[in-house]
Amino acid sequence: MSSANLEWNGDEFLRDLEAGIQDGLKVVGVKMENEYQSVLNRQASSKSNGGKSSQPGEPPAKDTGILQGSISHQVGKGSVAVGVASGSPANQYALVMEYGSRGPIKPKKAKMLSWIDKATGDRVFAKSVNIAPRPWLRPTLRKNYGNINDWFRKGVAASMKEWLE
């Protein structure tokens, strides 16, 4: 009669699997951060196209790069968040670009809103303005649904390589 010894490494495997899941989430976070930044980088700079803003429905035109630079990811235990951090100075701007102004924007302290028209260089005054949506977060996420699973799977597999051989 032959016999075999079986060694149980379940606890070690579960620890490595948990670490692998976190690694997979990190990969997804980095890749989606890059996708969001890439979308904003593809839209012609409003400075480079004569001050022309993006059209409603298009991603926002890059002007200062603050929005693009404020995109980050944060990995928690079993989760990843990617986007513009709520504490970022660009947070309100990102929401207005994604969803539009949801009603008129009115001055809080002054009688009129005022800004310099980038195309003409003239000062513009208005009692209120409406901004049409220029979505970029949701369309980019939808475009990458299939990639997210692949990125996650590859991140976990790379971390769990010794267990999969």
How far apart CA 115 and CA 121 sit, in angstroms, is: 10
Q: Residue 50's pLDDT is what? A: 64
Q: In terms of DSSP bridges, do strands 71-76 and 79-84 run parallel, antiparallel, or are they unpaired?
A: antiparallel
Contact 73, 81 (CB under 8 A): yes
Average pLDDT over residues 136-156: 95
Average pLDDT over residues 116-138: 91
Partners of 114 in the beta sheet? 125
Q: Residue 16's pLDDT is what? A: 92
Q: In a 10 Å sphere around its CB, with 0-12 CB exposed, 13-18 middle and 19+ buried, how is residue 59 labelled? A: buried
pTM summary value:
0.82
Q: What is the pLDDT of residues 42-84, one digit of tens each?
A: 766 666 666 677 889 999 988 888 999 999 999 999 999 999 9
Long-range contacts of 55-63 (CB under 8 A, 24+ apart): 55/134, 56/100, 56/132, 56/133, 56/134, 57/132, 57/133, 57/134, 57/135, 58/134, 59/134, 59/135, 59/136, 59/139, 60/97, 60/134, 60/136, 63/118
pLDDT class for 164, splitting at 50, 70, 90? confident
How far apart CA 63 and CA 68 sit, in angstroms, is: 10
Question: Has residue 118 got a pLDDT over 90?
Answer: no
Q: Residue 2's pLDDT is what? A: 79
Q: Residue 142's pLDDT is what? A: 96
Q: Residue 73's pLDDT is what? A: 95
Q: In a 10 Å sphere around its CB, with 0-12 CB exposed, 13-18 middle and 19+ buried, how is residue 115 labelled? A: exposed
Mean pLDDT of the chain: 89
Q: Residue 5's pLDDT is what? A: 78
Q: Residue 112's pLDDT is what? A: 95
Q: Residue 32's pLDDT is what? A: 97
